[in-house]
Chain A
Amino acid sequence: MTRFTGAALAPIGCQFALARPIHDPPPADDGSGPEPFGLRFFRPTEKLGAPPRFRYDHERQLAVTDDGTPLIMMPGAPEKTTTGTSDGKNPRGEEFRIDFTADHQ
């Protein structure tokens, strides 16, 4: 029996939760062992799309294209959506990222 060693109801990490960096995927998991009922509803979806090519402009404090145009000024610039399938139109769209904490790794 594996037991969680952190505080079960109020881990410290949850008091200042931070998002998982997009370049830091979770550890590989082979999906073995007993399967909770809810997991049968999970279905494979595409990997999150990469964000459009951008650089962070520290002066204006926003994302810009190579030529310095703010990304939000570009027609069709991708928006984040809620968590869902990633069809290239919602790169890095994650609704519920609050649960990435050191206590849960």
Chain B
Amino acid sequence: MTVLVLSEEYDPSVDRVVATLTDRGVPVFRADLGWFPQTLTIDAELRGNEWVGFLRTPHREVRLSDLRSVWCRSPTVFAFPGDMSPARRHHAEREARLGVGGVLATLPVTWMNHPQRDADHAYKPRQLALAARCGLTVPRTMITNETAAVRRFAAGALHGLVTKVLGANIIHEDGHRKFAPTGRVDVADLGGVEHTAHQFQDWVPKAYEVRLTAVGARQFAVGIHTDDPDAHLDWRTNYDALTYDTVRIPERIADQVRAFMAMAGLLFSALDFVVTPDGDWVFLESNSVGQYGWLTPTLGTAVSDAIADHLGAPR
């Protein structure tokens, strides 16, 4: 049986897993949905209560009933001819999403992750609530567009407040690509809070941070250390200032993460934690389409191997 991999063409993390599966003799059908409809086609019929048929490219085809698992890792959006009008493109894109996406999402196979679970997981307030329900420690958090509420919340913050965007932290504006790291909040200047929802959290004193990559029940943790002040606030601001090491995961945290993954319906996620100077682990967020490849020098191929184990397991 075959593993269906949906990803863009350039993704070294996917390449490693595809190579591992191929070495193990597990058939793989890799495609980017950006190939649809030009070089990827679908031919599916509803028979009984299941969709059967084929996905095809000029190079190979796979029978839908022959799939054992699907790895859905940020395939790009469907691509249509450039001379299609915006209205026709919008129509075609929506039909493709509902048709191709609808058939694929219905396949009764192992999903890493099912796109609808990924969609649910995009909501950070939900993540925080799930994490707390599983017993993980989470920072005091507020979502608001009221400045008075921010000041009330700040009064209870022992180490100050930070703000973090809830969605994509990249925007393209005024000719620039802009990135938003975690920011310290000055409650004397909250102008603009009223314009939309904002997330505020207590600043959690940190000794270091951890990226914990969970693959099913298996977990791989890397400590992220820095002396750089900006990277201490948000390690994404300066990769050159970071050092990494492997970290032992406390048993209680491992159990809580397993419960979190089950409750979220995920087989893969990259979770970020702060480890306080007292050694407590505080959950920040979970990235169900997170990167792990840049940690390969520390982790080796452990994550890739675990993903291949899951995807290649008998249906």
Contact = CB atoms under 8 A, between A and B. Distances in A.
Contacts of A17: 115, 118-119, 122
B173 interface: yes
> Which residue among A34, A37, A78 has the maximum number of chain B CB atoms within 10 Å of its CB?
A37
B294 A99 contact: no
B165 interface: yes
A15 B175 CA distance: 31
Contacts of A47: 177
A94 B73 CA distance: 12
Nearest to A29: B173
> Which residue among B94, B163, B289 has the maximum number of chain A CB atoms within 10 Å of its CB?
B289
B38 interface: no
A38 B101 CA distance: 33
B172 A99 contact: no
A45 B75 contact: no
B192 A98 contact: no
B30 A42 contact: no
B296 A79 contact: yes
B33 interface: yes
A37 B195 contact: yes
B88 to A, nearest CB: 13
A34 B193 CA distance: 10
Nearest to A41: B183
Contacts, number: 216
B218 interface: no
Q: How large is the interface on A (under 10, 10 to 19, 20 to 34, 35 or more residues)?
A: 35 or more
A77 B12 contact: yes
Contact of B76 (A15, A16, A18, A38): A18
A13 B239 CA distance: 33
Contacts of B15: 62-63, 70-72
Given A98-B119, A98-B289, A71 B195 contact: no
B262 interface: no
A49 to B, nearest CB: 11
Contacts of A83: 168-170, 179, 236
B180 A38 contact: yes
Contacts of B167: 96, 99
Interface of B: 5, 8-16, 18-19, 22, 28, 30, 33-34, 57-60, 74-79, 90, 93-94, 97-98, 101-102, 104-105, 115-116, 118-119, 122, 163, 165, 167-181, 183, 190-193, 195-196, 198, 236-240, 287, 289-291, 293-294, 296
Interface of A: 12-22, 25-26, 28-31, 34-48, 51, 54, 56, 58-63, 70-72, 77-85, 87, 89-90, 92-102
